[in-house]
Structures are given as structure tokens and as C-alpha cells.
Amino acid sequence: MIAQTRKLSVQTNCTVLCIHPTCSNLHVGWKQLHTVGPYEFVSLIKNAESIATNSFHAIAFSIIFEKKTLYKSFSKTDNRVESLLKSLNASHLNKNGLYDFSAKDERNIENYLNESKKFLMNALRNNTENV
């Protein structure tokens, strides 16, 4: 993923901003950001040219803000991203690990949101019945 991030940075003529605490120590020329809270995190994604991540939340916001996103999972047990991408039928957006979420199908997202809302409403109903 590091090589792909470097390549993407050169292609887009963009600086890599890191929020991982050791990222800039390992990669010369990348800018380390400190004290990134939730507001800053979302703002960074919203205003980015593209994203390179292994984070579920970064993927979710990349989808919302329609960003080109380089994704690589480093965990064999965390499949939330794969599950989300599958639910949105987003595999066709993947070009060599780079997802172009600006080309996503809004109907898939609408269906996913409706199913999620139904699930939450049922869970809330069932939970209040058991109180």
C-alpha cells in the first residue's frame, strides 16, 4: 500500500497527510498531523483529492464524499469494509485497489440505508419489548 500511495501522490501532485502516529517517521516527505479529532478526520476526507486507508470509517466517509480511495486491509479478521463494499455492489469500482466512489450507484446505497434502518427499528422494538 505504501508504494501505491507514493505513486498516487506523484500522479495527483498531492502531499500525503498522515494521521497514524508513526507514519511520517517511516516515509520521508509525508506530513504528520497530530491531534486529529472526529471533526478534523471527517474534514480531511471531505477535502482530500484521494484517500489511502485501511480504516472502516475512512472508507465509509470516502463513499459519502465520493472520493477515490486506495484501500488495503491489514487484518484477516476485520471484514467490515469488505462487507460494506459487497452490500453496495462496489466491486466494479475497484481498479487495482483504487476505488472510485464518485461512480457509485446511488440505488445500492439507498437500499443499504433502508435495510439498515429496518434492522435498527426492529432491534429497538425487540429491545423495548424485553424491558
Q: pLDDT tens digit string along 83-97?
A: 888 888 887 778 777
CA–CA dist 67, 46 (Å, integer): 8
Domain positions in the chain: 2-104
What pLDDT is stored for residue 26 in this prediction? 65
Residue 50, amino acid: S
**Residue 99 corresponds to which cell in the numbers above?**
476505488
Helix runs in the chain, H state only = 2-12, 23-26, 38-46, 56-64, 80-87, 106-129
**Residue 20 corresponds to which cell in the numbers above?**
497514524
CA–CA dist 101, 64 (Å, integer): 8
Could you tell me which residue, 12 or 46, shows the higher pLDDT?
46
Could you report the per-residue pLDDT of 6-23, keeping only the tens digit for each?
A: 888 888 888 888 887 767
This prediction has a pTM of 0.77
Among 80, 112, 81, 113, residue whose Cα is nearest residue 97: 81
